[in-house]
Amino acid sequence: MSSAGTAYYLYCLTPDEAPAAMGPELDGWSPAAPLRLGGLTAIVSQVPVEEFLGEAAAERLRDIAWVGPRAGRHDAVIQSVMCHSPVLPAPFATLFSSLARLEQWLGRHRDTIGDYFSWLGDKREWAVKGLLDRAAACAGLMAAQPSAAQAAALRGAGYLLEKQRAAAAKRELERLLRQLALEAAAGLQAQAAGFRERKAIPMAGDSETEVVLSWAFLLPDGAEERFCSRLAELDVSRRLPGLRFTLSGPWAPYSFAPALPADP
């Protein structure tokens, strides 16, 4: 199966006999397929090495127009395997020069991979994000304070008091955000088998909504409804106007996958 100028691209691992994985077709890439290696199934494609190595490849990997379709295929293949089996997702662009190198890598990490699948079981990752309209939140907090017009006794004092109210609202906003985040994390973790904090990535094309928190939870099969109910009970928008939580999933458990260093 190996040929000059190609490498094995790893999508994910599964302990089961996975069916042939499907994903969007890409020129020069072979179809994603399962390979049974030492009690594990690796989902792989053969890909041109030059797409990922060299100076030109470094530029391509910074080009969203090039990366987007390939990252989309990466996720689509993993999602198709997830429909049948637990998965250990590989990071985007995980390459091996030969099947022998892939087998050596699996052998070196076999115990870690086995422990991961024993712990994972039927659990899957769900994402919770905290989205904040900062302007609306500050306006709501200012509305709860005495107005500058009521408090101003001297001419010109209204402007100064308005500035003081705005500064106080910003301080209160940060305090409430910290408090609500701690309370929410504690309440949701009680319903989950695992929890990870993730980097809050800004939302593309939305200048008004700020991602103020990003969490990953590992939920056993059947626990989603109870988790959703607990999330709804938090009702953070009542305590802080402009703040809301969103839930999405299930996703491949990237946030809980062990680090498995590859060969250089």
List the chain domain ranges. Answer: 6-121, 124-134+174-254
Q: Mean pLDDT across the stretch 254-263?
A: 88
pLDDT band at 101 (very low <50, low <70, confident <90, very high): very high
Helix axes of 157-189 and 224-234: crossing angle, nearest 10 degrees: 160
pLDDT in tens, 177-204: 899 899 999 999 999 999 999 998 887 7
Sequence-ordered list of residues with C-beta below 8 angstroms from that of 91, at least 6 positions apart, any chain: none
Q: Mean pLDDT across the stretch 141-147?
A: 64
Helix axes of 134-143 and 157-189: crossing angle, nearest 10 degrees: 110
Q: Output the pTM of the full model.
A: 0.82
pLDDT band at 165 (very low <50, low <70, confident <90, very high): low
Share of the chain above pLDDT 70, in %: 86
Q: What is the DSSP string of 149-213?
A: HHH--STTHHHHHHHHHHHHHHHHHHHHHHHHHHHHHHHHHTT-SEEEE---PPPTT-SSEEEEE
The predicted structure's pLDDT at residue 153: 46
Vertex 120 angle, CA 116 and 121, to 5° = 125
pLDDT band at 4 (very low <50, low <70, confident <90, very high): low
Query: Quick check: 116 pLDDT over 80?
Result: yes
Per mean pLDDT, which range of 73-77, 97-101, 234-238, 256-260 is the poorest? 234-238
The predicted structure's pLDDT at residue 255: 96
pLDDT band at 154 (very low <50, low <70, confident <90, very high): very low
The class of domain 124-134+174-254 in CATH terms is alpha beta
Task: Give the span between the Cα atoms of 161 and 155, in whole angstroms.
Answer: 11
Vertex 237 angle, CA 222 and 217, to 5° = 30
* Contact assessment for residue 48 and residue 6, using Cβ atoms and an 8 Å cutoff: yes
Structure-block tokens of residue 260: 């498995």
